[in-house]
Amino acid sequence: MKVVVHPEVEAVVRAWAKETDLSAGAKVLAERRAAMAPEHLAELRSEVSEISAEGLIELLALERGVTPGEVQEVFGISLLPKQVERLSAWLLDQQEVAEALGVGAEAWGRMLQAGLDRHLVRVGASRGSDVGAAVLKSEALAKSLLGDKPEAFQKRAEPGESPNAGLRGLASAMAFKKKK
């Protein structure tokens, strides 16, 4: 199902996506964003966040070049080294994309989360039962990465359960002190 947006927004998104170098793409995005009508900025950010979230799913599902090996735990999820490398490339690119759109990193993280939610609702309404296991798995991974996920962090932090408990205790104490 094709998505219809304002032609100016579509033109900017296409110009960004066709750049073969990620930094050049971010530069194009920043230039075109600066020149576009302000009333279309929200739609542009919404589009880019949803496309980036979908891109993360596709990237994690990409089987090319992924060889079985030692799994690494990154933010509480298990990934193969190739997937970690791709994820780090995506993450670094997101920093540039956020800057190009004039959005702070934390706000961009929230937009990505909202973009993922919109994407899942959209594809959920239109796809059949033939969706591949790899895509379903990478959707779950993307949800873990982009959603609020206190489990891994707090689990590690429970006193007596984690070697990092001491650091977590220190963090809590200092955060509490700061609030007082």
Per CB under 8 A, contacts with another protein among 29-58 are: 51-52, 54-55, 58
Q: Which of residues 68-87 bind another protein (CB under 8 A)?
A: 72-76, 79, 82, 84-87
Task: Report in angstroms how near the CB of residue 84 gets to another protein at its nearest.
Answer: 6
Q: State which of residues 41, 59, 114, 134 lies at the interface with another protein (CB under 8 A).
A: 59
Beta bridge partners of 78: 73
Six-digit token pair at 101? 């759109």
Shortest reach from residue 76's CB to another protein, in Å: 5
CA 21, CA 9: separation in Å to the nearest integer?
Answer: 20
Q: What are phi and psi of 63, to 5 degrees?
A: -90, -20
**Which of the residues 113 through 172 are near another protein (CB under 8 A)?**
113, 144-150, 152-154, 156-157, 164, 167-168, 171
71 neighbors 78 (Cβ within 8 angstroms): yes
Least Å distance, CB 37 to another protein, is 19
Tokens 């190009």 -> residue? 100
How many CA atoms, within 13 angstroms, populate the side-chain half-sphere of residue 69? Answer: 11
Residue 100: what are its φ and ψ, rounded to 5°?
-65, -30
Map the footprint of another protein across residues 87-116, applying CB under 8 A.
87-96, 98-99, 104-106, 108-110, 112-113
